[in-house]
Structure 1
Amino acid sequence: MISLNEASGLRGRLKVCDGNLSLLREKLATDPDSYAEEFNEQFEHFQRLLKLLELQPVLHSSSIDTVVQLCNFLSLTAPYYPEKASLLGSLVLHMLSSSGANVDQLGSELRCALCKCVVRLAMARLLDLHKVVTLFFDLLRCADKTLRKFILGALIHFIRRCTKKRRMKRGGAKRRPKMAMVRQQNSQKLRQTLFGMLTDERTVCARVAQLALICAYRRHYWRNANIANALAECVFHQVQRIQISAMRFFLGSQRDEKPNEDGQNSSDDEMEGGEEGSRKETKSLKEVMQKFRHAKKTRKRKKNLDQAKKVIVTAQHKKEEKRRPKDMKQCNMEAINAIYDPQSFVDRLFSTLEGRQRNEKYAIRLLQIALCARVIGVHQLQTLGFYSYLHRYIRPKQKEVTRILLYAAQACHPLVPSDVIEQLIRVVAQNFVSDRNTPEAITVGLNTIREIYKGCPEAATEEMVRDLAAYKKTHNKNVSLAAHALIMLFRTINPKLLHHKDRGRPEKATDENNEMDVDKDDDDELSEAGKATSNCEESSADENESDNEQHGHGGLPRLSDIEHFYGKFRRQTKEERMDQVKEGRPGKEAYGRPIRGPHVGRTNRELAKRKPVQMIRQKVRGRNRQRSFRDRQKSLRAYLLRQQGKKVK
């Protein structure tokens, strides 16, 4: 006979088993031994469902939901029973492998659930990580977008777990060396697998392996020279998509070529947004549009709508930028510096650029030119054919010509022969800096020549520099300021090339050197010469450091240096002017005599407004007497018409 208490406990267990798997999971976590029978029942039920899936891969949606729920439950509770966990792992691996059921016919939800089960068992060290990774790369043959996205995230998670140093408990100090060794071995195997998949014939496998390595490098999981060189080989891959992602990894996004103005203008934006931003950020764009749609259309409301749109969009962009990691898409100077043989890399890339196909897109060609220029400028390489190759693209009507001019300036460095740079500067001057071109083209050309001379000052000739400096007399402000910037550069680099009146005043140091006594010993002269050279080296080093800080990309010029225009200042609004006035008011000293008395400082008109009617009545009568006869006739006629109840025109 079963007692009443035993019967009630058994009834509660059956309720837990039949209905709520999440409640059973909580009970298992507290006491695994007591609920071993219930776990075995669910496990046997899952085995039967897997056999049914092998015979019939396409199931009803209700049965698929039960399989997904059981798979999640068993993957979370199997670590409490190691024997069952190993059996579960082998069953799921067999199900997903090619020897099991037809994986292509399984549903997307079911495939993802089985893969999640495999990941959880691998994280609990109940499955071999190498087997799991090879299985995932085999599963990429399925045309399932969600599954491929999940596999990429799982690979990144594996890399993170292999490289992350976890804190151990007090009793786990003895296990620390062993766990570190296991993590290192898993990391090495995973790296070798991903390197092998980069050269795989299947495009999807190579693409996923490349994305995993890029993400691992950017997030500082694997940041070494091996990863950078493996990704450098992807630049020469047969698939264009893999080429583009590899080149963008080294170059960064196009925003990085422009200066980081967010940090400079953040305080200004906060001051300008002020109360408007705090009011309108709470409302969504949909609410603002709906409110405008159902209201009367006026100019003021339309203007307010446009302002609200701008505030909401800028707030959304700022939130997105805050969510992103800071170094996600920055130019990878560290990766460019880590290339083993940059000269052979650039030669291979330039040979592919020269032997390009006719149907190749211009955007891909532009990325190849940019990467060539960046590597040449960073490593100061000798690829002389690259400069003559750029001549065909340096034209004002060329698409994205400012970027090509930027790449030409980035590829110039002091080790390039001066005749090659002179030829490049002549091409820029003939096509851009001439009277037949627009002022914008002349400005861009002068800025480009200035950046080229900054990288290679030995290529400057007296004739060219003086011809370019003559544009300072142009009436256009952008052209004259660009010419002045070129003059200021040569005042510091080599003032002898400038005209005498453009050299500016000599510095005090040169005057003192001219007034030095000539009757000194040779030893003193040698010591002073040594000091002078050391001072010059220090000053040049300081200038280089300041240039690196201004330019970024390791001292290479930016796109803003080429497209630098001096536009008109934006007029302040009334609110901005009032805020500026209020900022200057606190602590301001009042000059002159203070205004005392109730009627001091008022005009006669203001005083007349406060006077009673009896005081002003006589003055108004006198004003009426001074009117002409015609005015009095008109006013009388209007008075009579109003008395009759007629309208007055």
Structure 2
Amino acid sequence: MTKSKSNRGALLLDNLPQLQGLVKRDPDGYKDEFIQQYNHYKSIINIFKLQPGYNLNEFNNLVGFISQVAPCYPSITSQLPNDLSDLLIQFNSHLSPDTKKTLIQSLVLLRNRKFIDSIDLLKVLFQLLPITTSSSIKSYIKHVILNDMKLANQQSKNHKLNRVIQGLLFAMVQTGMDAEITSNKKSKNNQINSNSEAMWAVMLTRELWRKGVWNDSKSVSIVALACFHPTAKVQNAATHFFLGSDDVVEESDEEGDEIDIKKVQHQALINKSRKSTDKKMSKQKKAAKKANANKQNSSTPNFPALQLLNDPQGFAEKLFLSLTKTDKVHSLDHRVLVMQLLTRVMGAHKLCVLSFYSYIIKYLTHHQLRITLILVALAQSVHELTPPDVLTPVIRKIAHEFVTPGVGSEVVAAGLNSITEISRRQPWAMESDLLEDLIEYRKSADKGVITASRGLLQLFREVNPSILKRKERGKLAAMGMSTGKQALKFGESNEVASGIEGLDLLEKHLDQKENDDEDVDDEKAWDDWDAESDDASSEEEGWVNVSDDDADIDLSDSDEEKEKEKKEKKEEDTKDISTNDQIAQMSTLATERILTPADFALLNDLKMKAVQEEIDQGGGNAAKRKLAHLKEKRKATGSGADGDDQGQFVTEAEIVGPRKRAKNDYEARMASIAEGREGRDKFASRKGKHKSDKVASKTNEEKKRNKPMMMAIHSKRVKSKSQSKLIDKQKTLHKHKEKQRKKM
């Protein structure tokens, strides 16, 4: 009996999965076997600490077994999480990727079994990210962090965990802030660790923001601090976060690794064709094409992040100082990227960084690389509070460099469109003599130049026709000036807070629904629009005590009385309007009910419908631009971003303007030829092929050829030949000979 027990114990010690199942069923009965395995685990760790090169093949299975059954013996395994964490952090370079992943999985398992807290696990993972070199381990750690944060904030905001993690990320970004300023191509080995920490902090914050886990100002502050990091790679990733672009360099990518498409094409021509080289060339071409498309396509700004910036004026000034300080260090693409962020902050918050306009003048030449993006950045930085005297030299510079007879038509159109966008935001920056010269280009032969010049003329007919000559003002502008209408001066505004724009349209729509006996469910109107409350205890606050002095509260439940009062109020409003036409009608809908997000979405659609009707009835360009802005707002609201109500952001297409269709390259032409040859035999005509699919009658020529001879000789045509005169036969023969001669 004793021998069988000893054999069974030895068997269990060699079969860890079987022992694991038995321990979970009866922890007290197999405590001795577990202690034996735990002592073996501790002895392996002690040997490894003395000899870091010790083989740990059997160690992975042993750690997996102990972490599975550790909750059964909490007093014995209390130091297990600390041992695993120290082993991962202190001996990271000596561990194999399989061992690292096993240790991390063991810590995750202990967290799932409530053996350790999520904060303790995440602290260890954040320390591992910058020191781990394996890409698979990095992706696994990133997945664990994001998944853990998402689950922790799924039901309600876990403020304690969020504060701890945000503090860790902020410290990771701040680690390398005092380092030397470096570009993507120049980086020192002693800065890799700090740069890696800051890069991972930006990437994790971006992912948590994109997944909707974080949406507060603290997370925005982490990325805002990274915008001033001395490493261009980190600054680039932080800038893309605010620009709303996913074109972020991953940690595993090499710094400054750019693909030259011309070099790839040249190598494909001179190298010998092999299957491996062809596959590599094709992959490089796709990567270069994608990178080029990402550079040329303008991104959608991250409006919520821009609005949550703390001290936007200080952020913009500090960003401009960083731009001027690193002017000769960073590449042009990086500088243009920083310009885009700076100008979008200036446009969103209506800021004035006056030194920026004197700085950007040196880039305003038609042969400058990335000039369209620079013009876009310049235009979106201007708003109605920008001083006109600062913009006048800029407009003069653009006109002198772009709108001249010695450049191409595309350059002239881009210059005119840029001046138009600047003048739309600040019309007082334009001078009358310069405007007269610019609108003369509407007589050009190029369509793009004509469109750009006419757009500039139409803009000043709307905003400031007094700067134009009388013959160029147009009918509507001349009539407005005759009635005493004048352009707003610098600093003035005609926007008065008189309620919600277009609310009367919503009121008419709801009244029509009530007349059609359609029930409006207010609770359903809040579906899919409810924001996640930060205060989880809001539902547990209970009843609110109301004092007896609140006599203005209407406690009536009668719907008839409410409808009667509503009708009487409308009748009084109608009488007031009829007696005095100068009093504007204001909708009282906002004072009678709580408007839901669905109501605001419906209000935007109704405004678009009203503007479209105005355009159909002959509305001008102002109505068309208003319709475009409403469409942009609806699109932005649908994706979760705030609408661009005032259209302060400009796209590259608006600067370039309409262009002729570019000539197809060789590959496109061959693809078009191959598409036209589909379904056609080689060297065969397609004539008559369509008749083979359906039954059709014969032609008259075919009937004549198959007509019997005895019927043909009695036809009118044959009889006319035999009975014709000699002179007619000679004329016919002469015509036949002449025809044959021409064929020869």
Among residues 147, 161, 167, which one is paired with 1:186 in the alignment?
Answer: 161
Q: Does 1:607 pair with 2:703? A: yes
Q: Does 1:125 pair with 2:114? A: yes
Aligned to 1:55: 50
The answer (yes or no) to whether the contact 2:241–2:302 under 8 Å persists in 1 is yes
Q: Which amino acid aligns with 1:209?
A: A
Q: Kindly tell me: are residues 617 and 80 of structure 1, through their superposed partners in 2, closer, same or farther at Cα, counting changes over 3 Å?
A: farther
Q: Which amino acid aligns with 1:467?
A: D
CA distance in 2, matches of 1:480, 1:84: 84
CA distance in 2, matches of 1:197, 1:567: 50
Q: Kindly tell me: are residues 609 and 378 of structure 1, through their superposed partners in 2, closer, same or farther at Cα, counting changes over 3 Å?
A: farther
Q: Higher relative CO (CA 8 A, sep ≥ 6), structure 1 or 2?
A: 2
CA distance in 2, matches of 1:532, 1:52: 87
Once the 2 structures are TM-superposed, how far is the Cα of residue 192 of structure 1 from its aligned partner?
1.9
Q: Kindly tell me: are residues 145 and 574 of structure 1, through their superposed partners in 2, closer, same or farther at Cα, counting changes over 3 Å?
A: closer
Q: Does 1:114 pair with 2:114? A: no
Q: Kindly tell me: are residues 460 and 45 of structure 1, through their superposed partners in 2, closer, same or farther at Cα, counting changes over 3 Å?
A: same
Once the 2 structures are TM-superposed, how far is the Cα of residue 373 of structure 1 from its aligned partner?
1.0
Aligned to 1:283: none
User: Deviation string for 1:259-305 (max 9, x for gaps)?
Assistant: xxxxxxxxxxxxxxxxxxxxxxxxxxxxxxxxxx99xxxxxxxxxxx
Once the 2 structures are TM-superposed, how far is the Cα of residue 615 of structure 1 from its aligned partner?
6.4
Once the 2 structures are TM-superposed, how far is the Cα of residue 144 of structure 1 from its aligned partner?
1.7
The answer (yes or no) to whether the contact 2:229–2:235 under 8 Å persists in 1 is yes
Once the 2 structures are TM-superposed, how far is the Cα of residue 472 of structure 1 from its aligned partner?
1.6
CA distance in 1, matches of 2:377, 2:351: 14
What is the DSSP-based 3-state SS (H/G/I as helix, E as strand, rest coil) of the residue aligned with 2:352?
coil
Once the 2 structures are TM-superposed, how far is the Cα of residue 225 of structure 1 from its aligned partner?
1.0
User: Deviation string for 1:86-125 (max 9, x for gaps)?
Assistant: 3432331343354xxx432222321232122223323433
Aligned to 2:63: 71
Unaligned runs of 5+ in 1: 167-179, 257-292, 295-308, 322-328, 515-522, 578-598, 632-649
Q: How does 1:311-460 map to 2 (within 5 A)?
A: 330-356=300-326, 358-460=328-430
The answer (yes or no) to whether the contact 2:232–2:330 under 8 Å persists in 1 is no
CA distance in 1, matches of 2:152, 2:173: 20
CA distance in 1, matches of 2:710, 2:68: 96
CA distance in 2, matches of 1:195, 1:153: 20
Once the 2 structures are TM-superposed, how far is the Cα of residue 375 of structure 1 from its aligned partner?
1.0
Aligned to 1:237: 229
What is the DSSP-based 3-state SS (H/G/I as helix, E as strand, rest coil) of the residue aligned with 1:453?
helix
The answer (yes or no) to whether the contact 2:199–2:237 under 8 Å persists in 1 is no
Aligned to 2:149: 159
Once the 2 structures are TM-superposed, how far is the Cα of residue 564 of structure 1 from its aligned partner?
2.2
What is the DSSP-based 3-state SS (H/G/I as helix, E as strand, rest coil) of the residue aligned with 1:378?
helix
Aligned to 2:215: 223
What is the DSSP-based 3-state SS (H/G/I as helix, E as strand, rest coil) of the residue aligned with 2:341?
helix
Aligned to 2:652: 559
What is the DSSP-based 3-state SS (H/G/I as helix, E as strand, rest coil) of the residue aligned with 1:396?
coil
TM-score of the two chains, using structure 1 as the length reference: 0.65
CA distance in 2, matches of 1:530, 1:432: 49
The answer (yes or no) to whether the contact 2:129–2:197 under 8 Å persists in 1 is yes
User: Deviation string for 1:486-505 (max 9, x for gaps)?
Assistant: 23333433344445555444
What is the DSSP-based 3-state SS (H/G/I as helix, E as strand, rest coil) of the residue aligned with 1:448?
helix
The answer (yes or no) to whether the contact 1:162–1:184 under 8 Å persists in 2 is no
Q: Kindly tell me: are residues 605 and 163 of structure 1, through their superposed partners in 2, closer, same or farther at Cα, counting changes over 3 Å?
A: same
Q: Kindly tell me: are residues 564 and 541 of structure 1, through their superposed partners in 2, closer, same or farther at Cα, counting changes over 3 Å?
A: closer
465-474 or 79-88, larger mean C-alpha shift: 79-88
- % identical equivalent positions: 26
Aligned to 2:640: none
Q: Does 1:195 pair with 2:170? A: yes
Once the 2 structures are TM-superposed, how far is the Cα of residue 410 of structure 1 from its aligned partner?
0.5
User: Deviation string for 1:326-367 (max 9, x for gaps)?
Assistant: xxx852221111112111111122222223353332222222
Q: Which amino acid aligns with 1:604?
A: N
Once the 2 structures are TM-superposed, how far is the Cα of residue 391 of structure 1 from its aligned partner?
0.8
CA distance in 1, matches of 2:23, 2:438: 83
Q: How does 1:565-604 map to 2 (within 5 A)?
A: 565-568=658-661, 603-604=699-700
CA distance in 2, matches of 1:252, 1:602: 66
Q: Kindly tell me: are residues 558 and 24 of structure 1, through their superposed partners in 2, closer, same or farther at Cα, counting changes over 3 Å?
A: farther
Aligned to 2:513: none
200-209 or 493-502, larger mean C-alpha shift: 493-502
Q: Kindly tell me: are residues 513 and 152 of structure 1, through their superposed partners in 2, closer, same or farther at Cα, counting changes over 3 Å?
A: same
CA distance in 2, matches of 1:471, 1:198: 52
117-126 or 441-450, larger mean C-alpha shift: 117-126
Task: Judging by fraction of residues, say which structure has more helix.
Answer: 1
Once the 2 structures are TM-superposed, how far is the Cα of residue 14 of structure 1 from its aligned partner?
7.7
CA distance in 2, matches of 1:384, 1:508: 36
Q: Kindly tell me: are residues 238 and 125 of structure 1, through their superposed partners in 2, closer, same or farther at Cα, counting changes over 3 Å?
A: farther
Q: Kindly tell me: are residues 97 and 353 of structure 1, through their superposed partners in 2, closer, same or farther at Cα, counting changes over 3 Å?
A: closer
CA distance in 1, matches of 2:309, 2:384: 21
The answer (yes or no) to whether the contact 1:163–1:221 under 8 Å persists in 2 is yes
CA distance in 2, matches of 1:395, 1:493: 28
542-551 or 486-495, larger mean C-alpha shift: 542-551
Once the 2 structures are TM-superposed, how far is the Cα of residue 84 of structure 1 from its aligned partner?
5.0
The answer (yes or no) to whether the contact 2:97–2:134 under 8 Å persists in 1 is no
CA distance in 1, matches of 2:334, 2:698: 74
Q: Which amino acid aligns with 1:165?
A: Q
Q: Does 1:205 pair with 2:301? A: no
Aligned to 1:482: 452
RMSD, matched Cα: 5.0
